[in-house]
Amino acid sequence: MALRVADYKTDVHNDWCPGCGDFGIVNAIQMALAEMGVERDRTAIFSGVGCSGKTSHFINTYGIHTLHGRVMTFAQGAKVANPDLTVVAIGGDGDGLGIGAGHFVAAGRRDIDMTYIIFDNGVYGLTKGQASPTLKLGEQPKSLPKPNLNYSVNPIGLAITSGYTFVARGYSYDIRHLKDMIMQAVRHKGTSFLDVLQPCPTYNDINTRDWYAGLDMKDVAERHSRIYKLEDTGYDPAVHYADRGDLDEKISQALIRSLDWGDKIPIGVFYKNEHITSFETRMQEHIPNYTENPPAHQRISEEERPITDVSGLLGSLLV
Amino acid sequence: MVDFTWLIGGPQGSGVETASTIFSGVCAKAGYQIFGKREFHSNIKGEHSYFEVRVSDRMVRSNSSTVDLMVSYDAETIFRHYSTVAPGGSIIYDLDMRDTETVDVATMDPYFKERLHAEIRRLGVPPTVRGVLDAAARSGVRTYPVSFKDLLADLAEQHGNPRLKLMKRMYNVLGVSLSAGLAGLPRDLLLRLIQDVFHKKAMVKKLNADAAAHAYDAGADLGDIAHVLAGAEKRPGTALVQGHQGTAIGKMVAGCRFQSYYPITPASDESVYLESNEILDVKHARPGSISVVQTEDEISAIGMMIGAALTGVRSSTSTSGPGFSLMAEALGWAGINEVPVVITLYQRSGPSTGLPTRHGQDDLLFAVFGGHGEFPRIVYASGDIEESFYDTCLCFNYSDVYQLPVIHMMDKFLSSTTTTCPVFDPSRVTIDRGRLLDSIDGEYRRFQLGGDGISPRSYLGLKNGIFWNTGDESDETGHITEDPVVRRQMMDKRLSRMDIVLERVPEEEQAVCHRAGEYTIVSWGSTKGPILDALEMLESEGVSVGFIQVKMLHPFPAKLVERLLGGARVIIDVESNQTGQMGNLFSQNIFRRIDHYILKYTGRGMTCDELYDAMSDIIRGGAPYRTVLMHGS
Residue ranges of B 376-415 with Cβ closer than 8 A to chain A: 393
Q: State the best of B310, B397, B421, B437 to mutate against chain A, taking most chain A CBs within 10 Å.
A: B310
- Per-residue pLDDT reduced to its tens digit, A69-80: 999 999 999 999
The chain B residue lying nearest A67, using CA atoms, is B471
Given this model, what pLDDT does residue B224 score? 72
Instruction: Give rounded-to-5 percent helix, strand, coil for chain A.
Output: 40, 20, 40
- Per-residue pLDDT reduced to its tens digit, B60-113: 999 999 999 999 999 999 999 999 999 999 999 999 999 999 999 999 999 999
Q: Does any domain span residue A316?
A: no
CB-based burial label for B427 (10 Å; 0-12, 13-18, 19+): exposed
The chain A residue lying nearest B446, using CA atoms, is A62
Question: Is B288 touching A (CB cutoff 8 A)?
Answer: yes
> What is each CA distance from B387 to B390, B392, B414, in whole angstroms?
5, 8, 11
CATH number at residue A190: 3.40.50.970
Q: How confident is residue B51, by pLDDT bands cut at 50, 70 and 90?
A: very high
**H helical segments located in B82-170:** 110-123, 129-138, 148-159
- Per-residue pLDDT reduced to its tens digit, A103-143: 999 999 999 999 999 999 999 999 999 999 999 999 999 99
| Cα-only R_g, chain B | 27
List B422's β-bridge partners, or say none.
B238
Question: Is A215 touching B (CB cutoff 8 A)?
Answer: no
Question: Is B290 touching A (CB cutoff 8 A)?
Answer: yes
- Per-residue pLDDT reduced to its tens digit, B377-391: 999 999 999 999 999
Q: How far is CA B7 from the centre of its chain?
A: 19
Question: Is A88 touching B (CB cutoff 8 A)?
Answer: no
Q: Please work out, in degrees rounded to the nearest 5, the angle formed at the alpha carbon of residue B39 by the alpha carbons of B36 and B44.
A: 125
Percentage above 70 pLDDT, chain B: 100
Q: Does any domain span residue A308?
A: no
B28 closest CA partner among A315, A317, A313, A312: A317
Q: Are A169 and A197 in contact (CB under 8 A)?
A: yes
Q: How far is CA B385 from the centre of its chain?
A: 7
Q: Do the domains at B241-428 and B508-628 have one common CATH topology?
A: yes
Q: State the best of A38, A284, A297, A300 to mutate against chain B, taking most chain B CBs within 10 Å.
A: A300
Q: Which of B245, B254, B420 sits opposite A306 (nearest CB)?
A: B254
Question: Is B315 touching A (CB cutoff 8 A)?
Answer: yes
Q: How confident is residue A208, by pLDDT bands cut at 50, 70 and 90?
A: very high
Q: How confident is residue A309, by pLDDT bands cut at 50, 70 and 90?
A: very high
> d(Cα A111, Cα A162) in Å, to the nearest integer?
10
Instruction: Give me the mean pLDDT over the A44-54 stretch.
Output: 97
Residue ranges of A 5-44 with Cβ closer than 8 A to chain B: 10, 12, 40-42, 44
Given this model, what pLDDT does residue B223 score? 83
Instruction: Give me the mean pLDDT over the A269-284 stretch.
Output: 96
Given this model, what pLDDT does residue A1 score? 63
Percentage above 90 pLDDT, chain B: 98
Return the SS3 of B456. coil
Q: Which of A63, A70, A307 sits opposite B299 (nearest CB)?
A: A70
Q: Please work out, in degrees rounded to the nearest 5, the angle formed at the alpha carbon of residue B83 by the alpha carbons of B97 and B27.
A: 85
| Cα-only R_g, chain A | 21
Q: Which residues of B touch A317 (CB under 8 A)?
A: 239-241, 245, 423
Is the pLDDT at A144 greater than 60, yes or no? yes
Given this model, what pLDDT does residue B160 score? 93
Given this model, what pLDDT does residue B226 score? 56
> Residue B204: CA atoms inside 13 Å, Cβ hemisphere, count?
10
Ordered by start, the domain boundaries in chain B are 3-220, 241-428, 435-505, 508-628
Given this model, what pLDDT does residue B285 score? 84
> Residue B308: CA atoms inside 13 Å, Cβ hemisphere, count?
29
Instruction: Give me the mean pLDDT over the B148-174 stretch.
Output: 95
Percentage above 70 pLDDT, chain A: 100
Counted domains in chain A: 1
In angstroms, the separation between the Cα of residue B531 and the nearest Cα of chain A is 26
Residue ranges of A 220-259 with Cβ closer than 8 A to chain B: none
**H helical segments located in B516-574:** 528-539, 558-565
User: In CATH, which of 3.40.50.300, 3.40.50.920, 2.40.40.20, 3.40.50.720 is domain B508-628?
Assistant: 3.40.50.920
Domain that holds residue A155: 5-286
Q: Does any domain span residue A182?
A: yes
Q: Does any domain span residue A303?
A: no
Is the pLDDT at B126 greater than 70, yes or no? yes
Return the SS3 of B633. coil
Instruction: Give me the mean pLDDT over the B136-152 stretch.
Output: 97
Percentage above 90 pLDDT, chain A: 98
Given this model, what pLDDT does residue B606 score? 98
**CATH code reported for the domain at B241-428:** 3.40.50.970
Q: Does any domain span residue A307?
A: no
Q: Are B195 and B156 in contact (CB under 8 A)?
A: no
Is the pLDDT at B278 greater than 90, yes or no? yes
Question: Is A188 touching B (CB cutoff 8 A)?
Answer: no
Residue ranges of A 269-308 with Cβ closer than 8 A to chain B: 283, 286-287, 289-290, 293-296, 298-302, 304-308
Query: Do the chains contact at B312 and A40, CB–CB below 8 Å?
Result: no
Query: Do the chains contact at B472 and A310, CB–CB below 8 Å?
Result: no
Phi, psi dihedral angles at A26 (to 5 degrees): -65, -35
User: In CATH, which of 3.40.920.10, 2.40.160.10, 3.30.365.10, 1.20.1250.20 is domain B3-220?
Assistant: 3.40.920.10
